[in-house]
Amino acid sequence: MTVRVMLISPAPGLASRAARFDDDAPLDEAGTRRARAAAASLPGGARAVAAPSRRCRETAAALGLDPAPAPGLRDLEVGRWRGRSLEELAAGEPEAVAAWLADPGAAPHGGESVLDLVARVGGWLDGLAGGDGGRILAVADPAVIRAAAVHALGLPPAVFWRLDVAPLTLTELTGRAGRWNLRCGRPLTAPAPAAG
């Protein structure tokens, strides 16, 4: 049976605006406003789930969703790099950052490698495709959405860093029997005002 998984990236929060690895900071007021404005453009008739991060849960709430928790969609675990900026890390640990960005199996931060993330998210996706089908609306962190695309399309894990996921966009995967199709990055926007 076919399953449609619609992955929504969260509104920007304090960490994303500061270009830091997420430290479970809340959405700021601007991010909450943007999510509320986008609520009307959500596709209907889907079961909602949300990743455990605070920004995903708060985005789901601002979108008017009442999602079930989805622990398998937790963000890439960056270990001791959590809360720090990539610029700061590149200055202090240039070899570790270079290895992490070049090798999908590297985890110099003591957290999860990109390969591990892709396998975890891929297992979640494949579990859905083997189920009874339906539509799922999932609010998930950008790294999780990139990992889902890499897995679904059988892309080399090295392309993970070349996939951009903008805030409040919808990436749609449709799958059945181990085969996935991808529709990329539709923005969630407030409806245009009626003319007249």
**Structural domain harbouring 135:** 3-77+113-187
Domain-located, residue 157: yes
Averaged pLDDT, 39-59: 92
Domain-located, residue 193: no
Domain-located, residue 160: yes
- CATH number for the domain spanning 24: value is 3.40.50.1240
> What pLDDT score does 190 carry?
54
Number of domains into which the chain is organized: 1
Query: Which value, to the nearest 10 degrees, does the dihedral of the CA atoms of residues 162, 163, 168, 173 take?
Result: -170
pTM over 0.85: yes
Domain-located, residue 83: no
Q: Which helix (H) or strand (E) holds 172?
A: strand 169-176
Name the residue with higher pLDDT: 140 or 132: 140
Averaged pLDDT, 169-181: 86
Domain-located, residue 52: yes
Per-position DSSP letters for 51-107, written without gaps between them: -SSHHHHHHHHHTT--PEE-GGGPPP--GGGTT-BHHHHHHH-HHHHHHHHH-TT--
Domain-located, residue 87: no
Rounded Cα distance, 162 and 185, in Å? 14
- Give pLDDT tens digits for 102-130: 999 999 999 999 999 999 999 999 888 76
Domain-located, residue 84: no
Domain-located, residue 85: no
